[in-house]
Amino acid sequence: MLKKGWKILAICVVTLGSRPALAVELGAVRKAIFKVQVISQEPDYKQPWNHQPVKSSSGTGFYIGPTGILTNAHVVANGKFISVLKDGDDEPVSARVKFMAHDCDLALLEVQDPGYFFGVSPIGFGDIPDVRETVNTVGYPTGGEQLSITQGVVSRVSYRRYVHSSADSHLLVQVDSAINPGNSGGPVLQGKTAVGVAFQAFTGAENTGYIIPTPVIKRFLSDIADGRYDGHPVQGFSVQDNALENTATRRYHGLKAGEGGVKVSEVASYSPLAGAVASGDIILAIDGKPVGVDGKVSYLRDRLPFRVLYDLKQRGDALKLDILRDGKRSTVDVVLSAKEPFYDGAHIFWNQPRFLNFAGLVFTSLSRDFLETWGRSWYLDAPLHLRYIHNHFSQIKELQGARDVIVLTERLPHAVNTFAGPFMDAVVTRVNGKKVLSLEDLARAIDAADGSHLVFDFWQEEVPLVLPLAASRSADKDISTRYKIPLTRWLGPDEDGATADWGADK
Amino acid sequence: MKKLWLSLVLICFSLPLAAKSLESSILRIHSVVQRSDYDAPWTAKQNQRMVHMGVVLDEKTLLTAAFAVKDARHLEAEKLGDPKRYPLRIEFVDDVANLAVLRFVDDAPTALEVLPLGSDLRLGDNVNLYQALEGETLVSNAIKLREVEVRPVYLVEYPLPQYVFELRRAGYGWFEPIIRDEKLVGVAIGQAASSVFALPSRLLKRFLENWRRPPYRGFVDPGFQVSSMLSPYLREYAKASTVSDGVWIKSVRADSPFVDVVQVGDVLLEFQGVRVSARGSYEHPRWGRISFMSQLAEIAAGDRVRLTLLRDGEQMKVEKVLPAYDPSHERIPPPALSQPIYTIFGGFLFQELSAGLMQSWGSQWKRRAPLPYLFEAEYKRNPSADGKARAVVLQRVLPIEYNKGYHEMEDVFVTQVNGRTIQHIQDLEAALNDEKFKQRGYAHIIVEPGHEEVILSYQGLDRVHKTIRKRYGIPDTARFWEPAH
């Protein structure tokens, strides 16, 4: 994607469109649209006990009923203080994140006083709009204080990457109105109902904006109905796009004339499909819907990748797949739950990255955010082995089942760790011969170690790092004091970065 | 005062005078080079004209760099002041030493003078580097030996001791002779920033003596890699605390002569009887502390190599007779072996991964080449025991109707064909000739990463290959897979 010059940016705000806005009467809906103001602070992924400077930004949100104000996750990510301002009001009120869904870039906010919404009519949801239909993007883009309305036309419906997490693809709708910083999280309306949430734009072309359509929003609302956000189902399998367009391949697999399907190339051990679907299988249909040779299914009025149907399920839901294997047809039912932990390469947005500091050596968990500390061209400049793990985790046998890909990221110089320099950015696999698949494993191995030495083995490194155990333990406190480290380890929970609350005074 | 002026005058005249007398010993070599085109391996890139320097060995032969004659289609010598060009042919090349001998095809320039070899330099010695890539006169640069570094030569990843001189101007490293007291003491073979690297005279001497008294005894490779052992804790762990010297053996190649006697984790204490420090260095009488690997320059194929190791606290001595190092055994062949090895099957262009192929991504290839290639080259480079294993890649697909559905595939490793593990192109061609699969009518190809399976028909391949040749302008000489009869 990046190679081909695509630059899709998630933006914290909305813009004025290219076409002159027609007179759109929002009426009572205006009161349901809020400016969301956020003070945020991101962690420092290289020195995970530290945080970066505080930033302020704003976006848009809209009231959808007693559940709260819907906005984008990226608007409130890492939010330390969040406030919402009603159209026409002079004083913002504090808000906090009730549910955060980084994978689909949605968040639900709540305010302390339910009476705040008195007289505000919630905005309801419509269907996914048709191509060429007109929609209005409403919000608070930068450049002014007033509510802005931008009219646009639906260009296409597709399934593609959401920039906020950078690892997840979902259904989205492209519109020809530009979406600018500040628009994000605002409703995209047809009449008085929302048909989507404005969330990202393609900067490589003019007036190309994207909105999160209602099937994704409704899936989110359904997911949180039990009081917890679980996320979109894990996939963990790859298919060979278009392979079954090949005549010989079709004939070999015994596909009938006119029959479609998509060939599975790899199923990761953590995938919900593991054990039910194998490499070389042909997926003929998903939940009874035939899959074409282009890997697409009929969805609403479009043809979209079959993964759309998978992706709109809840975790734990059942999925029915019609399979062709070695000339035999069968139907398999899979439960959409991951089989084991894995590295997904998404942005994590935790308040505190997981880390462990021992003897001045800082171990942290690999993430996209950590890789991005190598700068804008991290995908070229970060260490080769880390980029390889990021891109090909499922193909590295030694790391399967890892909750954390443990990276030795920093050395706080001290006599006990003088010779650890060459191991920076190496990936720990064993401590004293014992396999470690998480930072908890690492902590246990270090805490339980006895004998004279602590021996760390690293992935693709043929030399171990050896520390003197007793001296390292006794140096630990001294190092933390010397380098002013307030927290020597953080092993979770994976707390979300948005810790804003409405304060103790209310 | 008069003496001072006289000295200055003498200094001013001495360099041009010396340069003039050297014009009978230092020649300019013009080459027309045609590099392989890894993107279209059945053809070659546009001709390039290059200029290097050469040194007279006798009235019929010249010494130059191996990289100067690599892929050369035409070579000729020019003696400064003589308008005539003299065609040359390649007499002998050692890619590891990065040296080549050229012989005049017919006539040679008159009054050539042999440049005698001098002895090794010491750190801080002052010498002159002569260059005449352009113009009519040899230009002299006074330089001082800054250090000696053990580093790979350009064509192969083989460590050799090289002089390092400081020269702020760019444009050196084209086999410029380095001279002291009218004797050849080195030749420049590379430049990085303001450092000019040169082969010392002992390497020139070794090469020439070997060439003049065949059979040529090349360099050797002990086939293990080491890592410094400065950490006292690593020493305790390796039961090597009783000594302060030695390096950690971190890998032993499958084709190493020492594979059955040296293990990962052994501590190498001595190499050829010379103590190896914890940093992997030793005290050279002229060059100070340099890598113990510099001793490889003193060892020739057929020599016995002696190691002293420490394993589990016990010292042991091992020795082996080492064969010549063969760069063609590398799993990812170095730039010296630059011929692309490929085959085409049904429009699928398969090629063995090589340094040349990766360098086709341009000067930034270490960042731009596909990540799996870079990873393979960094972490999976060690050769097999027989030295034949290569990484075979599906470079791209030449689209026609026959291979529809696979047109977008590119830059992936071929791991299996018709159920067989693939080690090199010949393996792949043989696997495609598997009778069982041919009779069933389909070839199966597995590529990684991603474990994608390609199914192609054996039917009508002749016609398919004809179509591809015609449509993509591929000459008859190109290597297409052919069924075995």
pLDDT at A295: 94
* Chain A residues within 8 angstroms (CB to CB) of chain B: 238, 240-249, 251-253, 263, 265-266, 279-280, 293, 380-381, 384-385, 387-388, 391-392, 395, 418-419, 452-453, 455, 460, 462-468
Catalytic residue status for A184? yes
| Mean pLDDT for the stretch of residues A153-175 | 94
Using the predicted structure, report yes or no on whether residue B230 has a pLDDT greater than 50: yes
- Look at residues B55, B36, B59, B60 and name the one whose alpha carbon lies nearest to residue B46: B36
Interface of B with A in 222-241 (CB under 8 A): 225, 227, 230-231, 233-234, 236-237
Q: Which amino acid is at B233?
A: Y
pLDDT surpassing 60 at residue B1: no
A13 against B138, higher pLDDT: B138
CA angle in degrees (0–180, nearest 5) for A411-A414-A417: 60
Q: How many CB atoms sit inside 10 A of residue B105's CB? A: 12
Nearest to B151 by CA among B101, B195, B201, B204: B195
Per-residue pLDDT, averaged over A240-266, amounts to: 94
Q: Is A304 helix (H, G, I), strand (E, B) or coil?
A: strand
Please give the mean pLDDT across all residues of chain A. 90
Contact criterion met (CB < 8 Å) for B405 and A244? yes
Q: Which residues of A touch B374 (CB under 8 A)?
A: 384
Helix (H) or strand (E) holding A33: strand A33-40
Pairwise CA distance, residues B101 & A90, whole Å: 88
Predicted pLDDT at B344: 98
Q: What's the CA gap between A230 and B370, in Å, rounded?
A: 35
- Dump pLDDT digits (tens) for B26-73: 999 999 999 999 999 999 999 999 999 999 999 999 999 999 999 999
Confidence of residue A23 (pLDDT cuts 50, 70, 90): low
Instruction: Kindly calculate the radius of gyration of chain A based on its CA atoms and give it in whole angstroms.
Output: 25
CB-based contact B406 A243, cutoff 8 Å: yes
pLDDT digits (tens, 9 = 90+) for A257-287: 889 999 999 999 999 999 999 999 999 999 9
In terms of phi and psi (left: phi > 0; alpha: psi -120 to 50; beta: otherwise), the region of B272 is: left
Give me the helix-helix angle, B371-379 and A384-392, nearest 10°. Answer: 120
Q: Which of A252, A279, A466 lies nearest to residue B442, judging by beta carbons?
A: A252
Structure tokens at B239: 């039961």
Assign residue A165 a region (left: φ > 0; alpha: ψ between -120 and 50; beta: otherwise). Answer: alpha
Q: What is the band of B5 on the pLDDT scale with cuts at 50, 70, 90?
A: low
- At residue A393 the predicted structure's pLDDT band, cuts being 50, 70 and 90, is very high
DSSP string, B30-99: EEEE--B-SSSTTSBPPPEEEEEEEEESSSSEEEEEHHHHTTEEEEEEE-TT---EEEEEEEEEETTTTE
Plot region of B109 (φ>0 → left; ψ -120 to 50 → alpha; else → beta): beta
- For B446, the closest chain A residue by CA position comes to A265
Instruction: Please determine, for residue A9, whether its predicted confidence score (pLDDT) is greater than 70.
Output: no
Task: Give yes or no for a contact between B350 and B413, defined as CB atoms under 8 angstroms apart.
Answer: no
**Which pLDDT does position B339 carry in this prediction?**
86
Copy the structure tokens of residue A202.
């393609």
Q: Do the chains contact at A246 and B455, CB–CB below 8 Å?
A: yes
Rounded CA gap, A39 and A263, in Å? 47
> Which residue among B248, B450, B459 sits closest to A266, beta carbon to beta carbon?
B450
Closest residue, chain B, to A280 (C-alpha)? B453
Average pLDDT of span B230-258: 95
* Beta carbon pairs, A and B, within 8 Å: 104
The answer to whether A453 contacts B453, with C-beta atoms less than 8 Å apart, is: no
CB B37 within 8 A of CB B71: no
Token couple for A318: 């059942």
Reported as a pLDDT band with limits 50, 70 and 90, residue A11 is very low
DSSP state of B327: G
CB A163 within 8 A of CB A10: yes
Given a cut of 80, is residue B465 above it in pLDDT? yes
* CA atoms within 13 A of residue B343's CA, in its CB half-sphere: 16
pLDDT(A213) > 60: yes
State the Cα–Cα distance between residues A228 and B89, nearest whole angstrom.
79
Q: Which residues of B touch A395 (CB under 8 A)?
A: 448-451
Cross-chain residue pair B457–A462, CB shorter than 8 Å: no
Tokens in use for A101? 């869904």
Q: Is pLDDT above 90 for B402?
A: yes
User: Do residue B404 and residue A452 have CB atoms under 8 angstroms apart?
Assistant: no
Tell me, yes or no, if B449 comes closer than 8 A to chain A by beta carbon.
yes
- Is there a contact between A279 and B405 if contact means CB atoms under 8 Å apart? no
Closest CA relative to residue B149, chosen from B96, B192, B89: B192
Average pLDDT on A481-505 reads 78
Chain A residues inside the 8 Å CB shell of B230: 419
Please state which of the ranges A317-321, B153-157, B225-229, B391-395 shows the lowest mean pLDDT.
B153-157
Asked if residue A403 has pLDDT above 80, the reply is yes
Would you call A464 and B233 a contact, using CB atoms and an 8 Å cutoff? no
Mean predicted lDDT score pLDDT of chain B: 93
Span between the terminal Cα atoms of chain A, in Å:
48
d(CA A44, CA A49): 7
Contact at CB, A395 and B449, closer than 8 angstroms: yes
Measure CB to CB from residue B405 to each of A246, A391, A460 and give the nearest one: A246
CA–CA separation, A368 vs B169, rounded Å? 42
Residue pair A402/A421 in contact by the 8 Å Cβ criterion: no
Q: Is the Cβ–Cβ distance between A177 and A188 less than 8 Å?
A: no
Name the active-site residue from A58, A184, A271, A394: A184
CA B172 to chain centre: 19
Nearest by Cα to A500 from A92, A44, A10: A92
Q: Which residues of B touch A385 (CB under 8 A)?
A: 375, 378-379
Which of these ranges, A27-36, A199-208, A295-304, B379-388, has the smallest mean pLDDT? A199-208
**How would residue A495 be classed by pLDDT, with cut points 50, 70 and 90?**
low
DSSP bridge partners of B199? B187
Spatial neighbors of A4 by CB under 8 A, at least 6 apart, are: none
Give the pLDDT confidence score for residue A24 in this predicted structure: 66
How deeply is B135 buried, as exposed, middle or buried, from its count of CB atoms within 10 A (0-12, 13-18, 19+)? exposed
B71: left (phi over 0), alpha (psi -120 to 50) or beta: left
Q: Give per-residue pLDDT as tens, A429-480.
A: 999 999 999 999 999 999 999 999 999 999 999 999 999 999 999 998 899 9
Distant-in-sequence, close-in-space partners of A498: CB < 8 Å, separation ≥ 6: A76, A77, A78, A79, A82, A96, A97, A100, A107, A349, A351
The residue in chain A having the minimum alpha-carbon distance to the alpha carbon of residue B251 is: A462
The amino acid occupying position B285 is P
Taking an 8 Å cut-off on Cβ atoms, the answer to whether B456 and A248 are in contact is yes
Q: Which two tokens stand for residue A409?
A: 């990221």
Each as own residue / partner, the long-range contacts of residues B356-359 (CB below 8 Å, 24 or more positions apart, any chain) are: B356/B36, B356/B38, B357/B38, B357/B393, B357/B395, B358/B332, B359/B38, B359/B335
Q: How far does B310 lie from chain A, in Å, by closest CA?
A: 16
Structure confidence at residue A10 as a pLDDT band (50, 70, 90): very low
Rounded to an integer, what distance in angstroms lies between the CA atom of residue B405 and that of residue B457? 13
Clarify whether A170 is annotated catalytic: no
Mean pLDDT throughout B339-346? 96
Lowest-confidence region among A230-239, B4-13, B148-157 = B4-13
Looking at the complex, does the CB of residue B379 fall below 8 Å from at least one CB of chain A? yes
Nearest of B57, B51, B294 to residue B173 by alpha carbon:
B51
CB contact under 8 A, A246 and B248: no
CA distance B242 to A45: 41
Contact A281, A323 (CB under 8 A): yes
| Alpha helix ranges (H) inside A96-192 | none
What is the greatest pairwise CA distance in chain A? 78
| pLDDT tens-digit series, residues B297-330 | 999 999 999 999 999 999 999 999 999 999 889 9
**Segment B97-122 mean pLDDT:** 95
What ipTM does this complex have? 0.90
The C-alpha atoms of residue B180 and residue B184 are separated, in whole angstroms, by 7
